[in-house]
Each structure stands twice: as structure tokens, then as C-alpha cells.
Amino acid sequence: MVLGILMPSLRYAYYAGTLELLQSILAREGYTLLLSSANHDPQLELDGARAMMAQGVDGVILFGRPLHDESAPLLARRGVPHLRCWAAMPGEPSVSFDHGAAMADVVEHLIGHGHRHFAVVIPFLALGDRFRGRLIAIREALAQHGLAIPNNAIVDDGGLDAQAGRAAYQTLLQREVKATAVICSNDLIAAGVILECQARGRHVPKDLSVTGYNDSGLAGSFEPAITSVETPLDVHAQEVARVILSALRDGSPIPMIRLATYLRERASTGDAPLF
């Protein structure tokens, strides 16, 4: 009656909130959740998988994109029931969001407002995201309109908080990037971009449109309210628990499930300014 969960980190509020809700749901079913947080270190993730197998857990939940290529295959070879959640890899048992489709929705929303010059702030290095799926999706969506993002308009080496957003906007200005819209990895980063923009006498969305991700409580209460992609935390946690428990109870194969995301349009995005 013990399940393991391999987390990339606990520093991000969405991750911690999902963990807390999962723990609560599983406890009601009599299960204890054994946690290993890798702090985005691939070796720590693999060590965590090995430690959980040594403890004889009934199953393992892998949160987010793989940090180490052997973590999931190791569990599979040992016959440990497992699934990946939040973000999926092709062919893996999973309960995840289609982040690529979500990014395409963001791009289409901004293009609908006349934007043709974009910047992206996603801290791939801090997230340990080797696959950069959200950036690929943004590029593909823009390419359908004959548009592209120059490499200097991508800030990928910052942190996950508002201060990182402020620093990212400073970097874009230093690089003389002429963007009318900035697509951000989360709502905190988006808030930081907006704050730095305002500190420099620019107006959001008149001079710059900004989008966030995860639709946290901050997004709707910020000024201006932040256009964001909702990835429902409660739906995610409940479905992860349902699928892994079903597999443990009746031995059913774990499917690949994609959960819906929703673009919440708010005041931080508007019509593109004229250069």
C-alpha cells in the first residue's frame, strides 16, 4: 500500500500543489506516497527510482519530462507499474496535458490580435527540459503563418519566479529584440515581465502583450490580469490517482491519456502596436 512519486523539484507551486492533492486522494484509498525530489538532477531521479524499487513500492508516478533516460525503462524492466504525468513521452503510459496544443492556442490568440514579432521566456535549463516541446510547438504554429522567432528572442537560462521575468525582459531589451508579444513559461515569470515593462514606462497590453501558463491564482488577480493557459490541477491529480489505482487493483494496462487545457484570455494581451 505504498506508491512512489519521482518529482523534478518542489520549488514550483504547481508541482507542490499537485503532490499535496495526490497525497490526499491516495491517503483516502489507504495508500502512502513515498516522495523523491530530484532538484532537476538526472542522476538523483534515477537513484530515486532505484531506491523505490528497493523499498518494494506497489507503483511509481513519474512527474514531468524525463530527466534520466533510464528511469522509466528501469521500472518497466522490473515490472513495476508506473505512469508519467503532467508531460508525456511518446508511447509511455501517461496522464498528461497536450502542452504543444496549448502553445498553438496561445500563438493563434496573439496572431489574431495582429502580433508578428514574438519573444519566448521559458527556463529550459532550470527545468531540465532537454526536449523543449513547448518551443517546438510555438515555432511550428508560427511557421504556419510564415513567421519565426529569432534565437536572440528566446530566454531559456533564467529562473521560475517574478524576478526571473524581470531579468528576462531586461535581457530582451539589451539584445534589442523588437517583440510585441512575450510568451512566458508560467504566471510568475509573466508577472515579472509586466512589472519590468511598467517600470520602464511601457504599458501592457498597449505596448506589449504578455502571456503566462498554468492559470494560477496570481493570473486573475494581477494588474493587468494575465492571459494564461489553464492546466486544471484538480483534474490532473484525480485522473493520475484513478489510473494508477485502477492498474494496481485489476492489472489493467495503463493508457495514454491527454487532458484538455484552456486558454483564459485576459487584459495582459491585446492588439499589436505599430512599430
pLDDT tens digits for range 42-73: 999 999 999 999 999 999 999 998 889 899 99
CA–CA separation, 184 and 180 (whole Å):
13
Give the three cell numbers for residue 163: 524576478
Domains and CATH numbers, the chain: 2-97+231-261 (3.40.50.2300), 99-229 (3.40.50.2300)
Q: What is the mean pLDDT of residues 214-229?
A: 95
| pLDDT tens digits, 85-102 | 999 888 889 999 999 999
Q: What's the whole-number mean pLDDT along residues 147-167? A: 94
pLDDT range class, residue 275, cuts 50, 70, 90: low
CA distances from 45 to 60, 74, 130, 241 (A): 12, 12, 15, 21
Yes or no: say if 124 and 132 are a contact pair by the CB < 8 Å rule: yes
Give me the phi and psi of 11, to 5 degrees please.
-80, -20
Asked if residues 194 and 222 have their Cβ atoms less than 8 Å apart, the reply is yes
The DSSP output letter for 265 is: -
Residue 129, pLDDT > 80, answer no
Stretch 151-173: mean pLDDT: 95
**Phi and psi torsions of 12, nearest 5°:** -95, 130
pLDDT tens profile 224-246: 999 999 999 999 999 999 999 99
